[in-house]
Amino acid sequence: MKNSTKSRGRKPRQEAVPVDVIRRLSLYLRNLRNLREAGRGRVSSEEVAGPFNLSPAQFRKDLSWFGRFGKSGVGYEAEALSEEIMRIIGTDQSWNVAVVGVGEMGGALLKYPGFDQSNFNLAAAFDNNPAKIGRTINGVKIVDIADAPLTIKNCGIKVAILTVNRDAAQAAAELMVKCGVRAILNFAPCRLILPETICVSNMDVSCELETLVCRLRHRLLRKGMQ
């Protein structure tokens, strides 16, 4: 009965950064942008973390995974810190991203203005519907998914957003992996079975809604981040 299933029971004792640390870095970064737009040059850990109901100590511990970025007794330079966090996350460079499946959700993402200010560049859109192939949405031409290998290679795409329906998700994901995609943001309401080397994150509306309404009846224990 022991060591039965896959690799779940391992004890790697590795010095790996917890993924929640990165998720918080991403929040800090957004807040830093706001603070800078509000004219703040120097900021404290309380100012950066407080709005998310996270403690200043948490902020400092999170950063300490990667180095020392503040001045004792003074605080942090908002701009320099932003750049450091972007370097840590990897968004100091630009990323070409593919949208796979131009249905309602895929179309909405292609038109989403939030990416304009980011270093994520929606560089390609794929679909298998002949009625959609060749059309252009917000400057992005919809390409036959059969031609995905070439496009992905040409654009150097490593990240895909999966917005196909549930039944098509697994096959589409496998195709992306075969084309060289290494990270997938999955909007389909199912789990993808992919090699462990591929990074997957799920945006699960049903799951979030269910969690929300459950919090309405039970008083649940959250942990910051709102």
Partner DNA sequence: ATATGTGAATCCTTTCACAGCC
Partner DNA sequence: GGCTGTGAAAGGATTCACATAT
Residues that bind DNA (CB under 7 A): 2, 8-9, 11-13, 18, 20-21, 44-46, 54-58, 60-61, 63-64, 68-76, 221, 223-224
The one among 36, 44, 79, 120 contacting a second copy by CB under 8 A: 120
What is the DSSP secondary-structure string of 45-106? HHHHHGGGT--HHHHHHHHHTT---SBTTTBEEHHHHHHHHHHHHTTTS-EEEEEE--SHHH
111 counts as binding a second copy under rule CB under 8 A:
yes
Specify the residue, 31 or 151, whose C-beta has the smaller distance to a second copy.
Answer: 31
Q: Biggest alpha carbon distance in the chain?
A: 62
- State which of positions 155-174 bind a second copy (CB under 8 A): 158-159, 161, 165-166
Q: How far is the CB of 61 from a second copy (least distance, A)?
A: 15
Q: How far is the CB of 50 from DNA (least distance, A)?
A: 11
Q: Which does 211 bind (CB under 5 to 8 A by kind): DNA, a second copy, none?
A: a second copy
Q: Is 28 exposed, middle or buried (0-12, 13-18, 19+ CB in 10 A)?
A: buried
Specify the residue, 56 or 189, whose C-beta has the smaller distance to DNA.
Answer: 56
Site string for a second copy, 27-46 (x = CB under 8 A): x-xx---------------x
The rounded distance, in Å, linking the Cα atoms of 14 and 22 is 17
Residue 159 φ then ψ, to 5°: -125, 135
Q: Which does 70 bind (CB under 5 to 8 A by kind): a second copy, DNA, none?
A: DNA
